[in-house]
Amino acid sequence: MLHYGAFRVDSKRQKECAGAALHDIHSLICELIQKFEPSVVAVESIFSALNVRTALRLAEVRGVVLLAAAQNGVEVHSYSPREVKASVAGYGHADKRQIQLMVRALLSLSEMPEPADAADALAVALCHIQADQARVRFGIPVGASAASSVRTSAAGIRTGRSVRPGRRNGRETPVSVVGI
C-alpha cells in the first residue's frame, strides 16, 4: 500500500454551483491516476437500500469516476459490498470495524486505517487483487465480474491504492489498483 485517504468536499464548495463538487472529484481522481498510474480502478457498487437523494448523488459521482478512468485509459472493475467484505473479512456482513481490522492485518499497517471510508477503499483494492488472482489462476475471462457500479460515501469519495505482482512478457511486474 502506497497511499490511502478519503476526499471530503467542503459544504461551501458544494453550494457554489451544482457541478463544483463533481469537478473537484474528477480533478482528484485524474490526479491520483496520473500520480500512481494504476492498471485498474476497483470500485464498490452502490447500496440498493439507500434513499433516493443519496443514490442520485452517488450515481453522479459514479459517472465522474468512470469518466476519469476512461479518459486516462484505466480499466474499471466493480464489486458488491458483500463481495468485498467476504473477500477481506471472510464474512459478507462484516461491520466497518471488522473491515478496518482485517485491512490493517492484511497490509501489515502499524495503525488502524482512518477514516473507515479509506479502509473500505483499501478493502475494495484487496478484493480486486484476490479476484484478479483467482481469474488468472482459473483462466476466467476478465469481463466475468457481475457488479458494475461505484460506491462512495455521501460526504466524499474513497481512494486507496494497493500493489500486487503481475506478469508481462513472462516476467513479474508491479500492477497497481486504486480502490474507490
Full domain range(s) for residue 164: 4-179
Phi-psi region of 69 (alpha: psi -120 to 50; beta: other; left: phi over 0): alpha
Averaged pLDDT for residues 92-97:
94
Of residues 161 and 81, more confidently modeled: 81
Quote the pLDDT of residue 48: 66
Could you tell me which of 89, 156, 154 has the C-alpha nearest to residue 124? 89
H-type alpha helices, the chain: 11-16, 20-36, 52-71, 81-89, 96-106, 116-138
Q: What single DSSP character describes residue 153?
A: B
Q: Tell whether the model's pLDDT for residue 170 goes beyond 60.
A: no
> pLDDT digits over 11-64, tens only?
888 888 879 999 999 999 999 999 999 999 999 887 766 688 888 888 888 889
Cα separation, 136 vs 85, in Å, equals: 21
CB atoms within 10 A of CB 144: 9
- This prediction has a pTM of 0.78
Quote the pLDDT of residue 49: 63
Q: What CATH number should be reported for the domain holding residue 135?
A: 3.30.420.10
Residue type, 127: C
Number of folded domains in the chain? 1
Could you tell me which of 40, 60, 70 has the C-alpha nearest to residue 131? 40
Q: Tell whether the model's pLDDT for residue 176 goes beyond 90.
A: no
